Amino acid sequence: MIRVENLSKTYHVPKRSTGVKAAFKALVKRETVAVEAIRDVSFHVAPGEMVGYIGPNGAGKSTTIKIMSGILVPDSGTCEILGRTPWKERMAHVKDIGVVFGQRSQLWWDVPVQDSFDLLRDIYRVPAESYRKTADRLTEILDLADLLTTPVRSLSLGQRMRCELAASLLHSPKLLFLDEPTIGLDAVSKLAVRQFIRELNREAGTTVILTTHDMNDIEALTNRILLIGKGHILYDGGLDHLREQYDTVRTVTVDYREGQIPPVLDGVEMSRLGEGRVRYRVDTAIVKVSGVVARLSAELELKDVTIDAQPVEELIVRLYREHRI
């Protein structure tokens, strides 16, 4: 489906300088700074796979997506999607892909959603018969029936995102790029969008590349993540594997009878949460959780014990820190 090999791209951005003198100088000779967006990025994606593409802001996510969708031409490296090079056979390539930029609408702002859909049908030259079928199905699954006659500008963000998803799928693409599809959505809309993507992938077999900052998206949708930082691919593999490797921290929260003194344990961070309540942060690579619980129950009269794994967010932060990005 997707074969990306040693992709590199450097931007030449005008040097920003302050002051009037510098501005005049820039008039005559413009100095540019080379900003390396991605370097030697390689990965493969199989048909029907769902991949979470994550990394901090400015890591090169957007650049990679833009190259894969035929917007940008890379400096070097190869990228083959469905047997085609996006920037060389742009028109043939983009017929097979759908792109949703979460922060930018692809719909015409001032007219009803239906009008945008109709124009997209003409742009993509979708045959009337299959257009009707696809549109009907999308309308049903995404619950758009009441929205189609509303101008886009009057839609809520969640409603708009559902329409965006439909708009990018009207031509039944084999590959879908989702750039932060849940950004700014409320909890209900997020769940709806995730559920739809999951179904799309399962039923139509659409390959999905998803960039996001919301780790719940990743957890809900995909097992494979690609982590990029400072332009390099740092991790390519399953989320569960990542868990095993990095997710060694457990927090043990204990409620005990007031008046007792919770013990200080070696290699375990302790924080008091108030009278009769204490939290221990246990790194299982050093100390076993069972040992901690055993010690506590020996020394305190316990009312309640909860053990939590750390959220994926923290996992990713640790991963970023480890790679210094």
Partner 1 sequence: MNLYLRYVKMVFRCQMQYRVSFLLTMLAQMLIPFSVFAGMLLLFQRFHLLGSWQVDEVMLCFAVIHMAFALSECFARGFDMFAQVVSQGEFDRILVRPRGTVLQVLGARFEFSRMGRLCLSVVVMGIAVSRLSIAWNPLKVLSLVLMVSCGTLVFAGIFMLAATLCFWTLQGLEVVNIFTDGGREMAQYPLDIYKKEITRFFTFVIPFGMVNYLPLRYLLDRPGSMAWHALLPLCATLFLVPCVLLWRFGVRRYQSAGS
Residue from 75, 77, 90, 287 binding partner 1 (CB under 8 A):
90
Dihedral sign computed on CA atoms, order 165, 168, 174, 175: negative
Which residues contact residue 169 at a Cβ distance below 8 angstroms, ignoring those fewer than 6 apart? 98, 134, 138, 176, 200, 206
**What span, in angstroms and rounded, lies between the C-alpha atoms of 212 and 87?**
24
Q: Is 151 in the site for partner 1 (CB under 8 A)?
A: yes
Among residue numbers 260 through 319, which ones bind partner 1 (CB under 8 A)? none
Q: Is 73 in the site for partner 1 (CB under 8 A)?
A: yes
Q: Report H helices in the chain.
A: 20-28, 61-68, 90-95, 113-124, 128-142, 157-167, 187-203, 215-221, 239-246, 289-299, 312-322
Kindly state the smallest distance separating residue 105's Cβ from partner 1, in Å: 9
Q: Is 43 in the site for partner 1 (CB under 8 A)?
A: no
CA distances to 29, 68, 170, 278, 287 from 62, in Å: 30, 10, 23, 43, 41
Residue from 22, 92, 145, 187 binding partner 1 (CB under 8 A):
92
- C-beta separation of 279 from 270 below 8 A: yes
Kindly state the smallest distance separating residue 295's Cβ from partner 1, in Å: 49
**What span, in angstroms and rounded, lies between the C-alpha atoms of 32 and 21?**
17
Q: Is 94 in the site for partner 1 (CB under 8 A)?
A: yes
Q: Which is nearer to partner 1, 123 or 294 (CB)?
A: 123
Q: Is 61 in the site for partner 1 (CB under 8 A)?
A: yes
Q: Is 75 in the site for partner 1 (CB under 8 A)?
A: no
CA atoms within 13 A on the CB side of 4: 23
Residue from 1, 71, 82, 305 binding partner 1 (CB under 8 A):
71
Residue from 3, 31, 76, 110 binding partner 1 (CB under 8 A):
110
- The stretch among 102-110, 199-207, 231-239, 301-309 that binds partner 1 (CB under 8 A) is 102-110
- Give the rounded distance of the alpha carbon of 39 from its chain centre: 20
Residue from 16, 104, 321, 324 binding partner 1 (CB under 8 A):
104
Among residue numbers 200 through 229, which ones bind partner 1 (CB under 8 A)? none
Kindly state the smallest distance separating residue 71's Cβ from partner 1, in Å: 5
- The stretch among 93-101, 194-202, 226-234, 241-249 that binds partner 1 (CB under 8 A) is 93-101
- At residue 84, what are phi and psi to the nearest 5 degrees? -125, 150
Q: Is 66 in the site for partner 1 (CB under 8 A)?
A: yes
Q: Is 11 in the site for partner 1 (CB under 8 A)?
A: yes
- Give the rounded distance of the alpha carbon of 175 from its chain centre: 16
Q: Report H helices in 156-186.
A: 157-167
